[in-house]
Amino acid sequence: MPETALDTEAEPEPESGPVPPGPAALRRPMLLAGGALLAAGAVTVGVLTVGGSGGSGHSADAAGGPRHTTVEVGPSGCGRGWRHAEPGRQVFDLRNTSSTAAEVYLTDAKTGAVYGEVEGLAPGTVRAMRVTLGNGSYAFKCLPDDADAVTGPTVRVTGGGSVKSGPAAVPVTQQDLIPPTLAYQKWIQARTVELVQKTDALRDAVDRGDLAAARAAWLPAHLVYERMGAAYGTFGDADAVINGTTAGLQDGVRDKDFTGFHRVEYGLWHGESASSLRGPADRLARAVRALRDSWPDQRMDPADVGLRAHEILENTLQFELTGRTDYGSGTNLATARANLDGTRVLLGYLRPLLRTRATGLPGIDSWLDRTQRTLDSFQHDGHWTPLAELTRAQREKADSDLGELVERLADVAALTDVRRTA
């Protein structure tokens, strides 16, 4: 598995040619789910092996690869087996000798920054942690399930010369994420007020029977909602009422449960009368008002905020750039642009945490700018080009730029994932 995008130093502005989209859909589970989680890209996790490690100590890889060291994981022997420290690329074969599953960190003994991480190491199993270490002091930290963390002995690496350690990041705690989460909640509150105003304008136009004005009012209102993507999980059932699609509805666009922005969109661009749209527009306006009124009592989960920074544009790739959410207005690219705005806002609140952890943050900013320029090029005199009217080259560029950005944002999700420290 290659190192993650945040491992790189500050990057120059990308060149203008198309870049094939990265494997974002595959990469996220590797980073965020199941058996292992990469901390700042400094560790690669091997395949889970049932049984013991077959020995301890040091050995060379059969193919002449990096040096292997078997390290014990357990409350009474955390880090045992690492005695002859050497600099450079190496593999720690982590063997869980305890009776419970555990997380394992390789940390900077002074700062607590994590160089490598393995989650869910089951009893009697071994996993490989690959790292590059320069001169410094290191220690393994073992975190058994339902037990306190245990820090192993400090091991000093010397003689590294010009060898530099791989990237490391101080773990983010729940407490660290509370301030940006609260700030983002306040931003959402202001957006709900704006959403009510613009949705009322849409409803009023429908009530007057002015469908041209309603079509003009639909997109500005919808885009306000689309910029609020990191809060959708907290909206609960309100999200489906306000912005649901026909997915899973037996009668499709005729289903009684098809409501919200897309229900009104379908009617406005498929010749429905004003009288038939008054009910859907009014229900949308009432749902938006209910969201505004209930939001001050809602509480976003700080542990989810970093993941949302990645999910917003992941969903954009899945739904907007495929046209799955187009019910006649042809404004998927405008929605994608609003989703990009929402991602920027959330990253702004997370930036104080990322500055000291994400060495690839300048690269993310560059790809945000590049993707914005690409999307903006599809707007002319206030009109957004429908997906179906893009040339093949334009589609490829939009897909590749957004795909690369989504891949890089997966590292933000990994770095802001809440980790145990005790």
Same fold, 42-157 and 174-415: no
CATH of region 174-415: 1.20.1420.20
Ordered by start, the domain boundaries in the chain are 42-157, 174-415
Provide the CATH topology of domain 42-157: Immunoglobulin-like (2.60.40)
Bridge-based pairing of strands 67-73 and 57-60 is: antiparallel
| Alpha-carbon span 25 to 29, nearest angstrom | 8
Q: Please give the pLDDT value at position 420.
A: 84
- CA 143 to each of CA 117, 132, 172, 265: distance values in angstroms, whole numbers, following the listed order: 11, 22, 16, 52
- CA 208 to each of CA 17, 246, 272, 278: distance values in angstroms, whole numbers, following the listed order: 49, 27, 14, 9
pTM for this predicted structure = 0.81
pLDDT (tens digit per residue) in 224-277:
999 999 999 999 999 999 999 999 999 999 999 999 999 999 999 999 999 999
What tokens were used for 241?
């009422």
34 pLDDT band, cuts 50/70/90, is very low
pLDDT (tens digit per residue) in 304-351:
999 999 999 999 999 999 999 999 999 999 999 999 999 999 999 999
pLDDT (tens digit per residue) in 364-390:
999 999 999 999 999 999 899 999 999
**Contact between residue 241 and residue 261 where contact means Cβ atoms under 8 Å apart:** no
> To 10 degrees, what angle do helices 361-376 and 332-354 make?
160
